[in-house]
């Protein structure tokens, strides 16, 4: 498999064939993301993709899933996506699941029928970054979306019958906006009603604008206890969303996982115990992106 630049995939795709279709991110304006700052956005030629599919057909027959990289493959035109999915089904007929990142802009560019067509060809999961439900935070980090635009995108995915996984970023509101960030993220996640919620914790990178804001003192990074308070508030304000819940990314101070709403009280009790100092947190040197 031939990869260009830094290839990012969700933790749940650790056992998937990573097929790089596009290099980088077509938007690439978010102040907190440093994943694709080193490469201009481009699409791989079909011959390159087919070469990787032939490699996977020969060497990856035990893997049952494909994840399409990089940052927003769903932004591709519908004919190109249909062609891509058809190639995957032809060369890897045993694959049971195809997943990709899809931002709200890419989802808005597809009709429900478009998404249903891709589902029929094997698309089973879209990973979408909400980051925050607070409009002010979204503006500050130049997400290019509003809470309402992302709620609308989630509704379209649900109508198409595709599994939606949504990520949010603890700490993104800083010290000044942490409470609104937690409360409004809980509100928007409730409205989106995804089938999976994943919470990561902000780790500013030096090659990002937000990293430079932290270094200059313009952005005050929440400490571990602040992050726990934010996590507790978000969990307590989340509505009756029936979903998988994970806050056990390598960036987390307190790894958590469960089913909502069934495990909410147990999760809150764990966070409360950590706030009281009864549980050890992940030390800084072990945290990673």
The enclosing domain of 224 has a CATH number of 3.20.20.70
pLDDT at 40: 87
* Cα-trace Rg, the chain: 19
In-domain check, residue 4? no
Task: Evaluate whether residue 243 is within a structural domain.
Answer: yes
Query: Residue 3: inside a domain, yes or no?
Result: no
Residue 39 lies in a domain: yes
* pLDDT of 250: 94
In a domain, 1, yes or no: no
Q: Convert the pLDDT of each residue in 86-123 to its tens digit.
A: 999 999 999 999 999 999 999 999 999 999 999 999 99
Confidence of residue 6 (pLDDT cuts 50, 70, 90): confident
Domain carrying residue 66: 11-286
pTM above 0.75, yes or no: yes
Structurally, the chain folds into a number of domains equal to: 1
Instruction: Give the percent of the chain with pLDDT over 90.
Output: 90
Please say if the pLDDT value at position 26 is more than 90. no
Averaged pLDDT, 20-28? 92
The whole-number pLDDT of residue 37 equals 83
Side-chain half-sphere exposure of 250, counting CA atoms within 13 A: 8
Does 106 map to a domain? yes
- Residue 202: pLDDT above 90? yes
**pLDDT of 71:** 82
Evaluate whether residue 150 is within a structural domain. Answer: yes
Q: How far apart are CA 13 and CA 10, in angstroms?
A: 5
262 found inside a domain: yes
């Amino acid at each position: 498999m031939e990869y260009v630049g830094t290839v990012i995939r969700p933790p749940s795709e650790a056992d998937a064939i990573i097929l790089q279709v596009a290099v980088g991110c077509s938007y690439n304006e978010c102040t907190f993301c440093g994943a694709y700052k080193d490469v201009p956005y481009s699409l791989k030629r079909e011959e390159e993709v087919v070469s990787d599919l032939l490699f996977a057909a020969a060497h990856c027959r035990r893997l049952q899933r494909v994840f399409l990289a990089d940052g927003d493959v769903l932004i591709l035109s519908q004919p190109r996506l249909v062609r891509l999915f058809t190639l995957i089904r032809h060369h890897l007929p045993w694959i049971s699941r195809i997943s990709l990142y899809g931002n709200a802009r890419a989802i808005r560019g597809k009709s429900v029928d478009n998404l249903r067509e891709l589902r029929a060809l094997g698309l089973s999961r879209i990973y979408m970054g909400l980051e925050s439900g607070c409009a002010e935070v979204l503006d500050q980090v130049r997400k290019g979306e509003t809470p309402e635009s992302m709620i609308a995108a989630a509704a379209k995915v649900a109508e198409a019958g595709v599994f939606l996984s949504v990520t949010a970023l603890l700490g993104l509101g800083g010290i000044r906006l942490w409470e609104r960030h937690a409360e409004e993220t809980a509100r928007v996640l409730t409205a989106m009603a995804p089938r999976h919620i994943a919470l990561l914790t902000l780790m500013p990178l030096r090659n990002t604008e937000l990293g430079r804001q932290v270094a200059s003192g313009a952005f005050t990074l929440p400490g571990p206890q602040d992050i726990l308070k934010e996590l507790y508030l978000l969990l307590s304000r989340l509505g009756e969303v029936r979903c998988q819940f994970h806050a056990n990314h390598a960036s987390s101070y307190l790894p958590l996982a469960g089913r909502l709403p069934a495990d909410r009280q147990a999760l809150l009790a764990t966070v409360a115990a950590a706030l009281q100092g009864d549980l050890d947190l992940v030390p800084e040197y072990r945290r990673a992106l």
